[in-house]
Structure 1
Amino acid sequence: MVEQQERTHPPVRWKLPPVWALAALVAVLLVIKGIQVLCFSQAEPVQAEVPDWIRQELLEVNAYSRPGTPLEEVNGIVIHYVGNPGTSAEQNRSYFAGLAQTGETYASSHFLVGLEGEIIQCVPLDEIAYCSSQRNVDTISIECCHPDEAGQFDPATYQSLLKLTRWLMDAYDLTTDQVIRHYDVTGKECPLYYVRNPEAWQQFLTDLDHTALD
């Protein structure tokens, strides 16, 4: 039996890829990195710089009124009334704060507008508030005080609400179509006067279009 001669192979010589291939690889890596950065930035909570005519009295983080959950996008502003005639913004803020101890319910809002037009911020704009049910995840909430059970806002409250809502619209590039009542989310009669008097609500939206910040 004739033995076969052992075959030998020439040594493998590694060649560097051409310059165009390296450039293409770098371009692909940069595109991938750009997509990662874009996705990460979209997931960052939104925030706007709060003007000095808003008084910040932020709630302590707790499970019942300020969970600390990021608010990652703002697609609307929800208007509410407090439902407690004659109470002040500070009293309602204290109620929200007290829920951390009582645990009786889940409730809060980003802002409270008082009977004299004062505005108190309770929850940061990059966190959700417990105010608007399923729309908590993508809206900013405003609770307004009112003098009696009819729920109509005093002139000072109304003017501050216009100013606050207009500022938020400008800050988050929203239109009046994205300013809604609690009623429009859940069917609850809130804010009561502006549910039972829809023409008053339409006037509010019209007034928003004609409100300019100083």
Structure 2
Amino acid sequence: MEVHFRQAHRGNYRPAMRGQGQIAYLVIHSTAGGGENAESEAVRLAREVASVSVHYLVDERAVWQAVRESDIAWHCGTRRVYFHPYCRNENSLGIALCSRLRDGRYSIPEETVARAAALVRRLMARYAIPADNVLRHYDVTHKTCPTPFVESAAAWQAFQSRLRADEPAPVSCL
């Protein structure tokens, strides 16, 4: 899997020197507000100070990395109210799936879901992260993100089953 890199603006993450043993969670997000393209989102994070970021952006054609894995992306922080006892920005990687907004509803194309599952499985193997430590942003902060996986428990369960299976099953995020 080819991963393109475009460094996020320094105002969107914290430089660190995290090692392999310090990353224990993968947090899944979806883009909102027109973030349908991974490259354009990576360019935006490089250009603007948004005070937020993710490590990876995934769409149906490509994977873009915006923050090095050793650095801390600002993707699942809160104002001191967490709903997960351990997952924080400091011990996780953030992966955003580019979503589509049509008729007031967000969806994630099947190709994006498949590409994201392949990336997540690769990261799980690299960091020895069990499937139970792959979380939705919602699981950490109760923010409705990734919207399609929060609104449809079946879609989230299907995505998780891809992480546990040798041959991923199709996932529909309508």
Question: TM-score category by the smaller chain?
Answer: 0.7 to 0.9
Moved over 6 A (4+): none
Q: Which has the higher helix share?
A: 1
Provide TM-score, normalisation by structure 1.
Answer: 0.67
Query: Any idea what the Cα deviations from partners look like across 1:113-150, whole Å, max 9, x if unmatched?
Result: 02x23100111111110111161100000011112253
- In the other structure, the counterpart of 1:81 is 30
Number of equivalent positions? 155
Letter in 1 for 2:62: E
CA contact (8 A) 2:100 2:108 kept: yes
Q: Point out the structure with max Rg over C-alpha.
A: 1
Map of 1:27-176 to 2, 5 A cutoff? 53-60=2-9, 62=10, 64-72=11-19, 73-85=22-34, 87-99=36-48, 103=49, 105-114=50-59, 116-133=60-77, 135-148=88-101, 149-176=104-131
- Relative distance call for 1:132 and 1:86 in structure 2 (3 A) is closer
Name which structure has the greater RCO, CA cutoff 8 Å, separation 6+: 2
Q: Which has the higher strand share?
A: 2
RMSD of the alignment, in Å?
1.9
**How much does 1:86 deviate?**
5.7
Q: Which runs of 5+ in 1 are unaligned?
A: 1-51
| 1:106 aligned counterpart, secondary structure | coil
Percent of aligned pairs with the same residue? 28
Q: Distance in 1 between matches of 2:76 and 2:69?
A: 15
Query: Any idea what the Cα deviations from partners look like across 1:77-102, whole Å, max 9, x if unmatched?
Result: 00000112463112211221122xxx
Q: Distance in 2 between matches of 1:78 and 1:86?
A: 18
Provide TM-score, normalisation by structure 2.
Answer: 0.81
